Structure 1
């Protein structure tokens, strides 16, 4: 039995996809091989019921102030929280002697490395982000230094792996382990929305590209006047959110756009739409792409980051050039007006989920990483790749 501690700065599903990936991992973890524990930067009252119901011991520290300013007060608050989290994790490692520590986010890495080094416990870092660090910059050097103290890195896409290597991670100690999804969709009573309905599920941040979707919708409605867009997601950047709303008003699209906010039941809502859009500058992976495929939606996505590892252009969806709202509008017009490609892409999307991104397959791969790291052995995984065969 391998005792494994899972460290994350947050367990809040609203924070992003990393928390949902961690939840799926803990739900499917083979309890005959692993005994899990959790350490998180939030008080017990803030732990979602879904995590509390897992019957896993949860230790907490102070919340890491993600919204803190860069002024002296913000730096002081962040520094104080990091020191408290380090001390709390140190106590947890003494209370629960473990063979391996899984660090789920780069924010958690800030406070996890030193206590783990002092305890002599190997660390597996789950890299969910594209590491865009200029070579030779202080941030790139700091990232490379941290990676020297990590036993192994699990990157959630090939694109993330390559960026991490460029930033200083050892190629021999980083593997690609895709996020997975249960091929069986959750129960849904969502009724099909009228017209041609588009959904984007992403927190409001400039790099997520909601502004591109608005521009594309304006062009699309010239040929498909019944087209609508629904935005799901929390407002993480209010100024950006306000700019998007102002542009919607300028284009006269108020009646065609809905802001649905963050929804815990998003997965049950998806089957009511026709098309899912991912318009990010560079999405590291894009779990929502798989969720859309599983729900029977046609996928239209930007061609950057890890997205092309999931979406094969003209096979199980359409790709457009990143930041090109004209290209996005053209792709959406095709989906709206060519029913034959819609049926073909939906069928191929179901096969993509079941054949390539099965949750159970990816969990087993992650267990191999954890077991090898716990023994400080090299990780030997078969490569993750889309082999290009027809879906």
Structure 2
């Protein structure tokens, strides 16, 4: 892509994989089908359209078909860089920020947000913490990647048990990994056809946390039925193997995994963190329970382990809900509408 054809820049200033990075990786290829968009920064797949650091001076020239470019930030560092480019270096840019945080922003973050030309909130809950006008645009999901298993795919599962309950995310206290493990320790002895699987990376600072959980599992005699797989190559393949998904974090920005699970054909039991209450239809596609309440989590999970018909009805409803409400295309269209508004207002 020629620099003059780049209309939108999606910076990604974090090398390590995160939920924000995953959003950029999923959205940009779809946006690029109808928009001149390029990423900037490390840790992104080689096939994404990219702006190189050495090309930044070229941003003083306006794009071919727009009055200015849009810089779409998703982190504080990216907002700050955009402000420097627009206000200090006087490049023809307008700044858009997407906020997923569900907490009171720091004074520094509020300062940065006030200098944005448009703000997107990924949920109504995150929008409630913003003090500026904003547009709520829920995340979507890649329905080609996250889908139910085709005939024969489930037979490739490497964990035992007729049925599988999954939990995916980094192994740490904030993610509620301990809540999931303790719920499984309470439930699995009464449901011998079920196995629990955890996928996700354990960073060195949380190795002791994981070791403590493994010790609890071993004392319960469930080491063969509650398994830590670590960071897997293709998490979507594991979602297709899950008959039930549990998302128990104590706090979360948005949280895509319930959508990924529902799109894969699994009902979801989740804590009331992130946007989960806006994603799950209570009692239909799954359950939402209070944060940090292992008793409530355990009680909500058990009916899905015990009742195949209930679980199947919820799985069908979850799949239909994900497909109807959360396609990635809908998210991309919502973002594009914000871009077009910024261009129209700026041109005027």
TM range (shorter): 0.7 to 0.9
Q: Which residue among 21, 40, 52 is the counterpart of 1:59? A: 52
Cα deviation digits, residues 22-70 of structure 1 (max 9, x gap)? 12221111544x2112211x3xxxx44xx3223x23325xxxxxxxxxx
Counterpart mapping for 1:345-384 below 5 A: 345-376=314-345
In structure 2, distance between residues paired with 1:201 and 1:338: 23
Q: How many residues align?
A: 328
Judge conservation of contact 2:172–2:202 (CA < 8 Å) in 1.
yes
Judge conservation of contact 1:8–1:108 (CA < 8 Å) in 2.
yes
Q: Which residue among 103, 106, 110 is the counterpart of 2:76? A: 106
Q: Which residue among 110, 133, 157 is the counterpart of 1:144? A: 110
Q: Which residue does the alignment assign to 2:96?
A: 124
Cα deviation digits, residues 77-110 of structure 1 (max 9, x gap)? xxxxxxxxxxx79646347865210113334334
Q: Which residue does the alignment assign to 2:198?
A: 231
Q: Which residue does the alignment assign to 2:7?
A: 3
Cα deviation digits, residues 295-335 of structure 1 (max 9, x gap)? 11121111233100001210111122211111111122110
Which structure 2 segments of 5+ residues have no match? none
Cα deviation digits, residues 137-163 of structure 1 (max 9, x gap)? xxx222221111111111111111112
Judge conservation of contact 2:62–2:92 (CA < 8 Å) in 1.
no
In structure 2, distance between residues paired with 1:120 and 1:149: 15
Which structure 1 segments of 5+ residues have no match? 61-87, 134-139, 379-391
Q: Which residue does the alignment assign to 1:254?
A: 223
In structure 2, distance between residues paired with 1:92 and 1:260: 46
Cα deviation digits, residues 247-294 of structure 1 (max 9, x gap)? 323433322221111223110222212111100113332211111111
TM superposition outliers: structure 1 runs of 4+ over 6 Å: none
Alpha-carbon spacing, 1:96–1:238, altered in 2? closer, same or farther (3 Å): farther
Q: Which residue does the alignment assign to 1:274?
A: 243
Alpha-carbon spacing, 1:114–1:182, altered in 2? closer, same or farther (3 Å): same
Alpha-carbon spacing, 1:100–1:284, altered in 2? closer, same or farther (3 Å): same
In structure 1, distance between residues paired with 2:83 and 2:211: 39
Alpha-carbon spacing, 1:99–1:270, altered in 2? closer, same or farther (3 Å): same
Cα deviation digits, residues 218-249 of structure 1 (max 9, x gap)? 11024223432111111133333333333323
In structure 2, distance between residues paired with 1:89 and 1:145: 28
TM-score normalized by the length of structure 1? 0.76
SS of the residue corresponding to residue 102 of structure 2 reads coil
Alpha-carbon spacing, 1:370–1:130, altered in 2? closer, same or farther (3 Å): same
Judge conservation of contact 1:37–1:57 (CA < 8 Å) in 2.
yes
Counterpart mapping for 1:123-202 below 5 A: 123-133=95-105, 140-163=106-129, 165=130, 169-170=131-132, 172=133, 174-184=134-144, 185=146, 189-191=153-155, 194-202=161-169
1:338 matched to 2:268? The reply is no
Judge conservation of contact 1:154–1:177 (CA < 8 Å) in 2.
yes
Structure 1 residue 361 displacement after superposition: 1.5
In structure 2, distance between residues paired with 1:286 and 1:117: 33
Judge conservation of contact 2:176–2:250 (CA < 8 Å) in 1.
yes
TM-score normalized by the length of structure 2? 0.85
In structure 1, distance between residues paired with 2:230 and 2:58: 36
Q: Which residue does the alignment assign to 2:182?
A: 215
Alpha-carbon spacing, 1:268–1:96, altered in 2? closer, same or farther (3 Å): farther
